[in-house]
């Protein structure tokens, strides 16, 4: 199970296992059409028109149909009876050591205060990955640092002091269980791995594609379908449709392509690739969701400087039509960075605006594979935890979300989700098994601002299939 251990303090979670338990398996005979899709020049590449126009004109038609029995017969005829299993690459979870060495952390704390809880984080991570020396950067930072805390820094420090004992003790207890079960290993037992990851599609931006697509009209709205369904008698679309929800209603993994790139589409899942200005297809999906997880692209100085990804200001996040998507007693979960102004915004403005009540806070604690915090808990640089804010729409704290006999399970406060984090940016741990305890059975689940797909979930965002790209997976072949 993805949930390795459960204790009163929280849960120890295996993110990698959760991804791979989705069952990304394809019969060799079923891969033929997908390979043909990627090998044949796309409409965008073969057209004299603008690439986006060519793509949307190709995808605005109904899904191409081809009988699965025909595909199977073709495979049998060729004698190729191989089943290929795709596994998410383990090296993305090879976090063996903390991002900040203990000696460098001591240097940072000398003559400095609790500053840069988030803004300096990305700069230090880049240095840790590249192996560059921090001595010069440390001297420069010392010149700019002040011993006087500003309002935001004082606020963050006070918040940390309130929760640090709970995080320390709870994490220690879960880590000890991880050692006992063998899920975690002592530092001396962990092999040293080297090498760089080759992400060949790094220049392809789904977010830019969504932005470009807005400049062109799709098909006539009266002719546009809200959903493109993929069933056993329907082949996958040659290109992902940007104008409607794409749904895999089968129990099998499918291959989908977009602009020559191939992605894995898990069973019983659906997605909409668009930005916040094009959410109408999701509203037209005619589904009400009992769980909605939100991972907003929060604004901060580091993001502004690096221009690594887009962000949304608070007023724009408030425009998300969440009440229109939510079922009664919907469980709402929002990821929040360690900036206190974001936490206050969610609790004091966003949730009241959405009529979310019974608000509690959980914490995602990031550890190495040897059980250490990825950043020292008292780091003046960046904290090893992030915050989740949970609540319910149109319900009170004594209204059960899941009924087991006459027992009601209200959402507890101050729970920990401990896991080895992915090295990929904003690749959050799974919540599916954990949230089951606080929802009704067979509830519909939605993730907003998603970067990957989940079995049984609907996902939306302008990079919603990013981590489904084939380059993030390795293939294993077995005889059927």
> 303-324: per-residue pLDDT in tens?
555 555 678 999 999 999 999 9
Check if the beta carbon of residue 70 is closer than 8 Å to that of residue 273. Answer: no
pLDDT at 152 over 70: yes
- Tell me how far apart the alpha carbons of residues 140 and 92 are, in angstroms, rounded to a whole number: 32
What is the distance between the alpha carbons of residues 11 and 2, in angstroms, rounded to a whole number? 10
pTM over 0.75: yes
Top-confidence residue, 109 or 330: 330
Of 308, 306, 314, the residue nearest 426 (C-alpha): 308
What would the two tokens of residue 343 be?
Answer: 């936490």
DSSP label at residue 246: E
- Per-residue DSSP letters for 65-124? ---HHHHHHHHHHHT--EEEEEEE-GGGG---S-SS-HHHHHHHHTT--S--SSTTHHHH
Q: Rounded to whole angstroms, how far apart are CA atoms 351 and 296? A: 14
- The pLDDT of residue 68 is 36
Q: How confident is the model at residue 474 (pLDDT cuts 50, 70, 90)?
A: very high
How far is Cα 386 from Cα 376, in angstroms, rounded to an integer?
14
- The pLDDT confidence band at residue 47, using thresholds 50, 70 and 90, is very low
- Among 9-23, 26-40, 253-267, 324-338, where is mean pLDDT lowest? 26-40
Q: Which two tokens stand for residue 240?
A: 């992902």
Of 37-41, 72-76, 79-83, 203-207, highest mean pLDDT: 203-207
Work out the average pLDDT over 66-78: 42
* β-bridge pairing 385-393 and 326-336: antiparallel
Strand blocks (E) in 110-226: none
Highest mean pLDDT of the ranges 24-28, 67-71, 136-140, 262-266: 262-266
Q: Name, of 133-142, 197-206, 462-471, the range with top average pLDDT.
A: 462-471
Q: In angstroms, rounded to a whole number, what is the distance separating the alpha carbons of residues 289 and 393?
A: 11
Residue 130, pLDDT > 70, answer no
């Amino acid at each position: 199970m993805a949930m390795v251990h459960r204790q009163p303090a929280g849960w120890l979670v295996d993110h990698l296992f959760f991804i791979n338990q989705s069952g990304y398996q394809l019969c060799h005979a079923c891969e033929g059409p997908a390979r043909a899709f990627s090998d044949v020049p796309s409409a965008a590449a073969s057209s004299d028109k603008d690439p986006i126009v060519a793509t949307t004109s190709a995808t605005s038609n109904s899904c191409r149909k081809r009988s699965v029995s025909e595909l199977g017969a073709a495979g049998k005829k060729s004698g190729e009876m191989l089943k290929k299993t795709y596994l998410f690459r383990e090296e993305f979870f090879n976090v063996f050591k903390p991002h900040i060495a203990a000696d460098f952390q001591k240097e940072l704390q000398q003559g400095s205060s609790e500053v840069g809880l988030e803004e300096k984080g990305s700069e230090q991570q880049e240095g840790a990955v590249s192996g560059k020396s921090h001595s010069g950067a440390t001297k420069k930072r010392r010149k700019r640092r002040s011993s006087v805390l500003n309002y935001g820094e004082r606020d963050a420090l006070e918040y940390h002091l309130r929760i640090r004992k709970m995080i320390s003790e709870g994490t220690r207890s879960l880590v000890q269980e991880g050692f006992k079960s063998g899920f975690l290993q002592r530092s001396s037992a962990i092999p040293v791995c080297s090498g760089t990851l080759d992400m060949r599609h790094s220049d392809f931006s789904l977010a830019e594609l969504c932005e470009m697509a807005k400049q062109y009209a799709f098909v006539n709205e009266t002719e546009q379908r809200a959903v493109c369904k993929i069933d056993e008698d329907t082949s996958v679309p040659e290109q992902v449709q940007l104008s409607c929800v794409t749904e895999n209603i089968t129990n099998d993994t499918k291959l989908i392509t977009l602009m020559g790139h191939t992605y894995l589409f898990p069973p019983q899942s659906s997605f909409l690739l668009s930005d916040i200005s094009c959410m109408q297809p999701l509203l037209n999906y005619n589904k009400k969701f009992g769980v909605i997880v939100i991972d907003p692209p929060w604004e901060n100085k580091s993001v502004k400087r690096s221009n690594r990804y887009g962000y949304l200001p608070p007023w724009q996040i408030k425009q998300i039509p969440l009440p229109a998507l939510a079922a009664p007693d919907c469980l709402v979960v929002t990821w929040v960075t360690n900036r206190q102004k974001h936490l206050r915004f969610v609790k004091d403005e966003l949730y009241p605006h959405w009529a979310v009540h019974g608000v509690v806070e959980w914490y995602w604690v990031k550890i190495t594979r040897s059980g250490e915090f990825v950043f020292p808990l008292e780091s003046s640089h960046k904290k090893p935890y992030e915050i989740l804010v949970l609540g319910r729409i149109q319900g009170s704290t004594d209204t059960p979300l899941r009924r087991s006999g006459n027992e009601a399970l209200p959402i507890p406060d101050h729970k920990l989700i401990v896991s080895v984090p992915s090295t990929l940016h904003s690749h959050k741990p799974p919540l599916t098994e954990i949230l089951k305890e606080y929802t009704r059975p067979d509830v519909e689940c939605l993730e907003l601002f998603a970067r990957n797909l989940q079995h049984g979930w609907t996902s939306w965002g302008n990079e919603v299939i990013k981590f489904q790209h084939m380059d993030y997976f390795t293939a294993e072949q077995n005889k059927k």
